[in-house]
Structure formats: C-alpha cells, structure tokens
Amino acid sequence: MAPYIRRERRGSVAVVVVDNPPVNALSREVLEQLAAAVEEAAADGLITAVVLTGAGKSFIAGADISMFPRLAAGEMPPVPFQDYMNRIELCPKPVIAAIGGAALGGGLETAMACHYRIASAGAQLGQPEVKLGLIPGAGGTQRLPRLAGVEKAMEMCAFGETVGSQAAAELGLVDRVASGDVVEAAVEFARGAPPVRRTRDMREKLCDAESAESLAEVFRQMARRRMPHQKAPEAAIEAVLAAARGSFEEGLAAEARLFAACLNGEQSRALIHVFFAERAAAKIPGLRAPAQPDEVRRAAVVGAGTMGSGIAMCFADAGIDVWLSDASREGLERGLAGVRRQYEAAVRKGKLSGEEADRRLKRIRSADGMEGVAQADAVVEAVFEDPGVKREVFRMIGAAAPPAALLASNTSTLDIDMIAAATNRPEFVLGLHFFSPAPVMRLVEVVRGRATSDGAIAAAMALAKRLRKIPVAAGNCFGFIGNRMFLPYRTQAVSIAEQGGEPDRIDAALTSWGWAMGPLAVGDLIGHDVWLMIRREALRRGAGHIPVSAFEDELPRLGRLGQKNGFGWYRYDENRRGHPDEELIRLLREYAAARGIEQREWTAEQIRERTLLALVNEGARILDEGMALRAADIDVVFVHGFGFPAWRGGPMHWAEQAGKAKLLERLEALYDEEGPFWKPAAWWRR
C-alpha cells in the first residue's frame, strides 16, 4: 500500500502530513493510514500533541470521489468513514488541525474530528457534498452544528457554500487564524499543552429540538426554491436536525442512514457523472500540440453588443487586458456603459470590492477599427450573426492580427470553414461559442474547422480554462452540439402546440421535470426574429429534418418578438413575467385550421416523451458523425448551457439510465407513424 502519510517530529509534537497529490483526497487507504498515524503518535510516550495538516496548497479538499460510484455499485466493501473520524477524535492527546487552503467535505470533517483548528488567512472551509447529490457521511452533520450552531450547519450542508477562515473563526468553527505559517502556528499552539476537547461532547450551540425543527422547515422551503427536485439538500437538513434531537451516537446513525440513501440514489449517480464529465471534456485524445500553449497576455473582442461586451468582461475577470471595438462609436459606448453597469451592480451586491471592480474595468480598453486586433494574442469576433458580415470582419482581422494570434468566432450556428476562408491563415481560426450571459455561463464550445491546427485547439482549450470556463470540443456542423440538438427539441414543442397543446402546459411539463425553462419560453427569451434566422440557416444546411414551415415563423411577422417587445408565446408584464395570452391561442388555432392540423389533448408525459426523444436522437446523430467526442461531452453542454437538470446527468446519461432499448422502441414507433424526423440514429443500437 503506497504511503500517503508523512510523519515529522518537532520536539514533543508529532506533525502528521496527508500527502496525496494534487488535493490530498481521502481514499480508504489514506483514511486508514491517517487514523493509524494519529494512534501511533498517541502511543509514543515522547509525544505530547499531534498536528495534522496537508501537503501542498490544500489541507484536504474532500474524499476521493471515484470511490462513490464503486461503493454504490457494490464493487468495493463499505468504507467506515465515521469510524476513521472517531479514531482521530478519541486520541487521548490533543490533536490540532493546521488548515491551509481547502478543507472541504471529508477535509472539514477531518478537521472537526480534531480537538482544535488553526487556519491560514486564505483557507476555505465547507461541506459541498450536496453538489454531488450526497450529504456529509463522516460525522460532519453532527460535529458542524456543535461548533457553528444548527442554523449555520443546515445552511452549509444543504447548499454546499464555503466560508473563509475569518468567518469560520467568528462562527467558532476555527479557533485561531494564523498570520504566518499555519503549521508553525499549530505547533506553537500544541506546545502550550491545550487540554483534549472533543467536538462530540459540545452541546452549547445545539438548540432544543423544537427550535431546530422550526429552522429545518425554513431551510426545507429554501431548498425547494433554490434546488428544486433535489433530494440531498433535505437529507442534509434532516441529518443536522438529528444532532439536536438525540445523542451524538444517534445522530451518527441518522447521518449514516441518510448518506446511504443518497449514495444509492439516481441523483448522486447523475451528479457524479457530470463531475467527471466536466473534467474529461477538457481532454482531447491524440492532440499533437505543445503541452503548454503560449499564454494569452492581450486579447481583442470585435463587436461590443451584449455578447461581445460580456466576453470582454470574461477576459478582464481573468486578469487579461482586452481591447473592445465596434463598427460604430455609439455601439462601443453602449457596450462600455453596459460593462460599467454590471461591475457597479456586482459592487452593490457585495460580490466585488470597489477596488477590484475598478481594476477589471481598466483592463477593458476601447479601440478604433483593428488597432486592438493588431496587438492581441487572441481575437474573438462577436458581431451580428450574418455570414456576409462575419466574413468581412474576418478578412480584416486576418489582415491585422499578429501572425500567430488565435482567431475565434463566437458564432452559434454558422460554418467555421466559411468564416476561416476569409483569412489567409485558416489553421488559426476556430469557434469559441460562449453562452449568454457570457460572464456568468461556464460553458464554451470550442469548434474545430477543417483546417484548424492542433496547436490552435490546444491554445483555445487552455484559454477557456483560464477564463474559468468549461471547454467542450465540437465539430463544425450546424449549431455545433448545443444549438443543433436544441432545435429539434424545440421543433417538437412547437409541433405539439400546433396540434392542440397549450403553451404554458408544454413548458410546465418540462420545468416540472427539472429543466430551468420551458422550450417555448426560451424562444421568447432569445427573440423570434433570432429564432427565425436560426431556423433558416438550419434549413439551408439541411439540419435535423425540421419542417420547412412552423407557426413560430409567423411570430416576427405578427410583431410578436418575445420578451424584447412584450409579446411572443406569452404576454409579458413590466417585470418580464410571462402570462398566457388568449390572442396567441387564437392565432395558433387559426394557423392549425388553415393547414388542416389535427388537434388533440396532450399529457405531460407525452410532451416529455416527444421533446426528450427528439433531443437525445439528435445527440445520437452527433455522436454517429463524430461531431462530439463523447456522450458525456453532450451532457456537459446541456447541463451548463441549456438548463438541463444536472441531477439527471444530462440527456445522454438520462437515456442510458432510462433504458436505451425501451426508448428505441418508442422512437421506432414514431418513425413508423410520422416519418424521417424520428429516424433512429445508429447510437441507439450500440
């Protein structure tokens, strides 16, 4: 068994160091060696105290997540997480946690099993297990309320948010914040012979059971609003509630039962799938490129509209100087003013300090024409989604940019090869498709053209990660991955509306299933003039077997553009809240009658079946064509770009879990009844 623990001795103090790069994750082996090292120090007559710390930049950033799927599948024996923590806590000599960097999940549980906690000024502490569909399973739900109180413990365990070391000290979670070396501070503290003080014995911060139940109900309601449909937040609340209801041992038993239920549930399986899919998406097999691409020091964004100014903020937020330009001075001024408003709003909400907002704002410089492009290591074009306009802009970018600059288009649907052909260096041209709002959305599709070099792809992937985005490689087809799949999904929603479905019931069928927004409401958000343009481009490129006409094409002609003018599938009030619109229903039924479209009743299950089958089948075609590297990449795109419920794991994962054979049977029936739109992809039979 590999040694994951280092032992050092500083006089009468034993320093136990967890050394499992890169983040000191807790596996069964690490936990066993850690508990054994503490017990060995306790048995050494020359040792008076133990300091427990982590090597490198982290204390312990959590458990080894790869254990959980194997535990759930019965592929490895159960891990007695609570027992390992108890072995540390029951040490007869004082154990002090020296927390530098991250103490998250099992890391914080380890720290709380120690008798004292000293943290560095920049440390972060938290119980983020809920983000994997789990709850703390090593005693965290019982020790945290004893240290920080029931209310704070419910908040941290139910929502997975971290606290800094100073806030942790104010809560009582940390005993001292070290200004210098945290291990030295902990050793010095240990030499003062502090008495053993076990967290399990503390009850001063535990409120009575009735008060705890009142708090639990408040947090349940918050969880249902903030994390609807998810089971882990309420399980975490119940586990913390158990701390106030009974003994420490009874609380541990409740935690173990609730942890096991989450671990063996579908939501945890799905969220862990997404966790690993995000990390795999950044890896492109067989890429021949430098391991460390040249760093982007200066960037340029051409087009200062909503997307362009948002992309400029992404660069500024990552510490990269960026020139922003636009075809008109008025457009540029509007874009810069919008950026300024967003930073001011962040300061008002306490998300940024005024000084940091000023620093970021100063990184965004206005440029005339191509003067910024001429100085940039990376250029992102974000002009109007028109092929002719984009080709002309790229002709100018290609002429002005430095020879090795990365040249990217933010197009959401257009042909990257057509755009690249406007330059004399297509090997440097690719798509960088940001999602709106760009400073908030984490997804970026990195789109490879026919001539794009491996070096350019590697540089783009590295740049996206530096911008704190999740990059997903995509092939050059209509709509790439996300928009290509979303079009047939929405096509089915529109078709159902044409066949008698009520728009609000169509959307509700999908939001009640977990989507962030219904498909028709999305059309109103984007704007029906934009959707008409997208549909026309899809038809021009023969994408997705979509019908040549649809009711939605009529909406721009009828002056119903969506939220931007208050009327689309819904009518909108001054707060942009949508309401059912009788006029829309009348127009919809007239459209159907004029074309002889049969009307019928639709159940929520029928709506979900058709829209989701259309979505997954298009994803399957993308995989058949090699336009996505992995099914999991598609899942990442839809979770982070389109509001697909992460706790269902993404559309392709959902299809696998629902049963490909069963879904294929329904798809084949629809194909027999209705024709080419429903033709199953080969993926279903693989």
Catalytic (active-site) positions: 109, 129
The closest alpha carbon to 230, from 201, 273, 271, 202, belongs to: 271
* CA distances to 74, 85, 256 from 77, in Å: 7, 18, 15
Q: Beta-carbon neighbour count of residue 577 at 10 Å?
A: 10
Contacts by residues 463-468 (CB-CB < 8 Å, ≥ 24 positions apart): 463/296, 463/378, 463/406, 463/432, 464/432, 465/282, 466/296, 466/318, 466/320, 467/314, 467/315, 467/317, 467/318, 468/317, 468/318, 468/442
Q: Beta-carbon neighbour count of residue 254 at 10 Å?
A: 21
Paired sense of beta strands 163-164 and 364-366, if any: unpaired
* CA distances to 75, 141, 196, 266, 467 from 59, in Å: 29, 20, 22, 31, 26
Q: Is the dihedral of CA 62, 66, 72, 74 positive or negative?
A: negative
Q: How far apart are CA 271 and CA 231, in angstroms?
A: 12
Q: How far apart are CA 545 and CA 538, in angstroms?
A: 9
Q: Do the Cβ atoms of 567 and 560 come closer than 8 Å? A: yes
The closest alpha carbon to 305, from 409, 400, 381, 192, belongs to: 381
> 272 — phi, psi (to 5°)?
-70, -40
Report the first-to-last Cα separation within the chain, whole angstroms. 39
DSSP readout, 370-416? TTTGGG-SEEEE---S-HHHHHHHHHHHHHHS-TT-EEEE--SSS-H
Structure tokens at 456: 């350019």
Q: How far apart are CA 275 and CA 62, in angstroms?
A: 14
Rounded CA Rg of the chain: 28
> 3 — phi, psi (to 5°)?
-80, 120
Cis bond before residue 22 (omega within 30° of 0)? yes
Q: How far apart are CA 9 and CA 3, in angstroms?
A: 17
The closest alpha carbon to 17, from 47, 46, 60, 49, belongs to: 60
Q: Half-sphere exposure (CA, 13 Å, Cβ side) for 112?
A: 32
DSSP readout, 493-513? HHHHHHTT--HHHHHHHHHTT
Q: Do the Cβ atoms of 639 and 273 come closer than 8 Å? A: no
The closest alpha carbon to 144, from 88, 84, 182, 200, belongs to: 200
Q: Do the Cβ atoms of 329 and 304 come closer than 8 Å? A: no
Q: Do the Cβ atoms of 145 and 205 come closer than 8 Å? A: yes
> 33 — phi, psi (to 5°)?
-65, -35
Hey, is 444 helix, strand or coil?
strand
Structure tokens at 205: 């911060």
Hey, is 526 helix, strand or coil?
helix
The closest alpha carbon to 61, from 99, 28, 96, belongs to: 99
Task: List Cβ neighbours of 523 (8 Å cut-off, separation of 6 or more).
Answer: 490, 531, 552, 562, 568, 569
Q: Half-sphere exposure (CA, 13 Å, Cβ side) for 509?
A: 22
